Amino acid sequence: MDQTNGSSNGGYGPHAPPYKLHDYEESSYTGVIYQVGKGNVVVVSPPSTYSNMVNPEGAAAVGNQQYGEAPPVYSHGLEDSGFSDASIRRGFIRKVYLTLMIQLLVTVGIICAFLYWDTLRKWVWHNYWFSYSMMAAVMVLIVALSCCDTLRRQVPLNFIALGLFTITEGLMLGSVTVYFDAEAVLWAVGATALVSFALSLFAMQSKWDFTAANGSLWVFAWTLFSFALLCAILRSQYLYIMYACLGTLLFSLYLVFDTQLILGGKHRKYEMSPEEYVFAALNLYLDIVLLFLLLLKLIGLCR
């Protein structure tokens, strides 16, 4: 009797469950057999229930993927981007100041040629059109570099345009310095170098944000332009000296302003894009050139 019942119940004895396990062998359910006393108990569970209880986060991720939502991915992206931004900014600053140094060396070389080459000096004295034509060419190149993004961003077109502008500016400055004594020009060069270096250090170390004063500097510039028209009408030496002093102050502030735009940082309201290294070098170069011209005018008037 026991054997018959055992064989009819799948060979599990008189206390075996009233169903057969092979009915569930090909199904998607899994079963676990436990020995309780003399009988057997089969626990049938749906798939992945045990693993879900062990790792409920994995189950939630599977559920999210089932509805088309990707699980969250955590990485150190903020730290990487901060380091990347800092390295890009340092590379941008190196490009700007290397370009500026080359521009200034080329300009000083051209000025020295006009100062110490007597034939060229006398030729410029008798040909006024040369100075005016260089001024016009400089204005055209400034407008082109300021308005055309492709011209100042696309390599090597940007370096060709900047090199052409530097040579033209050097020729213009050289044609202006022939009307001053060589000693006065050298004093102006030294004063410009000293002032530019001191202002650059101040802009790097100062916590004052000059980038937020763009509107004030713009108003100051237009006021100085109006004062220049007044000086041209009255033709007073004292007004010329005052104009040179105010112009030196204005472009000193602009040099600090442009330096802080290049440096950027958390204490700056605005900063320049790393793609604009040619335009940044152009801004610093123009600030230094205009500062040199005003100091030269001031030294020439005071001699």
What one-character-per-residue DSSP string does 253-302 give?
Answer: HHHHHHHHHHH--TT-S----GGGHHHHHHHHHHHHHHHHHHHHHHHHHH
Residues 6+ apart with CB under 8 A from 223: none
Q: How confident is the model at residue 88 (pLDDT cuts 50, 70, 90)?
A: confident
Specify the length of the chain in residues.
303
Distance CA 135, CA 141 (A): 10
**From the centroid of its chain, how far is CA 54?**
49
Q: What is the SS3 assignment for 35?
A: strand
pLDDT (0 to 100) of residue 1? 45
Q: Which two tokens stand for residue 196?
A: 């530019």
pLDDT band at 255 (very low <50, low <70, confident <90, very high): very high
Q: What's the confidence (pLDDT) of residue 66?
A: 43
| pLDDT confidence of residue 83 | 37
41 has a pLDDT exceeding 60: no
Question: Tens digits of per-residue pLDDT, 14-29?
Answer: 444 554 444 444 444 4
Percent of the chain, pLDDT > 90? Answer: 45
At residue 209, the pLDDT reads 83
Mean pLDDT value across residues 242-261: 92
Instruction: Write down the pLDDT at residue 62.
Output: 43
Interval 165-209: pLDDT, tens? 999 999 999 999 999 988 999 999 999 999 999 999 998 887 888
> Given this model, what pLDDT does residue 38 score?
55
Cα gap 176→291, rounded to integer Å: 14
| Beta carbons of 9 and 40 less than 8 angstroms apart | no
Distance, C-alpha 185 to centroid of its chain:
36
Tell me: pLDDT of 227 over 50: yes
pLDDT at residue 301 is higher than 90? no
CB of 194 closer than 8 Å to CB of 134: no
Q: What is the tens place of the pLDDT at every residue in 45-72?
A: 455 444 444 444 444 444 444 444 444 4
**pLDDT value of residue 213:** 83
pLDDT band of residue 270 (cuts 50, 70, 90) is confident
For 302, other C-beta atoms within 10 Å of its C-beta total 10
Q: What is the pLDDT, as a whole number, of residue 265?
A: 67
Residue 39's pLDDT band, with cuts at 50, 70 and 90, is: low
> What pLDDT score does 37 carry?
52
Q: Which tokens belong to 87?
A: 């390295």
Question: What does the pLDDT look like over 136-163, one tens digit per residue?
Answer: 999 999 999 988 888 888 888 989 999 9
Compute the Cα dihedral for 280, 84, 200, 178 and give only its sign. Answer: negative
Strands (E), the chain: 30-36, 39-45
Q: What is the mean pLDDT of residues 77-96?
A: 67
